[in-house]
Amino acid sequence: MDGNNRWSIKNSKTKFDAYSKGAQKLISVSEYIFKNSNVRYISAFALSNNNLYRAKSIINILKNILSDYLDDEKNISRLNFQIIFFGDLSFLGKKLEKSKKNKKKKLLIFLNYSGRKDIKMQYTQRNIISNYDNNSFNKNLATNNIPDPEILIRTGGYQRISDFMLYQIAFTELFFLKKLWPDISNNDVKKIISNFKLIKRKFGL
């Protein structure tokens, strides 16, 4: 979900307007994907661990956006999917509202998350758990019981992962768009899903 700040400059909008549009875009794109495909999980990297070092004004905007768009029970209850938050949410100073119904389709929003830290936590577990294997490793990741991503879409033009799900994306198909996040369209997503279906996935075999 990269490019909100650049979108605000490009369109002469405030940072709040840009992040608001970005939040609305996340919900609308998720609704489109869930409605028009058999996808059951969508993961959104909304805030990395390193992003917390940005200006305090930006972090406060993000907190307000979360309250306005993602922490409203009325907004959440109308959705046909469940919202689940991952990461260290202590920086928010409060708990985010969660969908009360356990719906089959889920939007996973990662806030103050680090793929590196997720993996480093396993070294602590290794000293505790005997006969440590891949299953044990997976169970202690933040994404326990969630399938590894099949598609990763990064907007904003940068072709890097930026510390997102470093372990889980070993065989994920990567798609990079020059478009800034608020400008991504349902048609962009549709094209990517269509291209993904044409890929013969070998998983290293």
Q: Which residues contact 185 (CB under 8 A, 6 or more apart)?
A: none
Position 18 scores a pLDDT of 94
Q: What architecture is domain 4-197?
A: 3-Layer(aba) Sandwich (3.40)
Tokens of 201: 């996935």
Tokens of 186: 């349902």
Contact 83, 76 (CB under 8 A): yes
* Beta-bridge partners for 83: 107
Residue 165: band (very low, low, confident or very high) from pLDDT cuts 50, 70, 90: very high
Average pLDDT, integer, range 43-61: 91
AA letter at 138: N
**Residues 69-89 pLDDT 10s:** 655 656 667 888 998 899 988
User: Does the pLDDT value for residue 108 go beyond 80?
Assistant: yes
User: Does the pLDDT value for residue 5 go beyond 90?
Assistant: yes
Residue 140 CA: distances (Å) to CA of 95, 111, 128, 145, 150: 22, 18, 12, 10, 21
Average pLDDT, integer, range 175-193: 97
Residue 96: band (very low, low, confident or very high) from pLDDT cuts 50, 70, 90: low
User: Does the pLDDT value for residue 149 go beyond 80?
Assistant: yes
Rounded-to-integer distance, Cα 89 and Cα 85, Å: 8
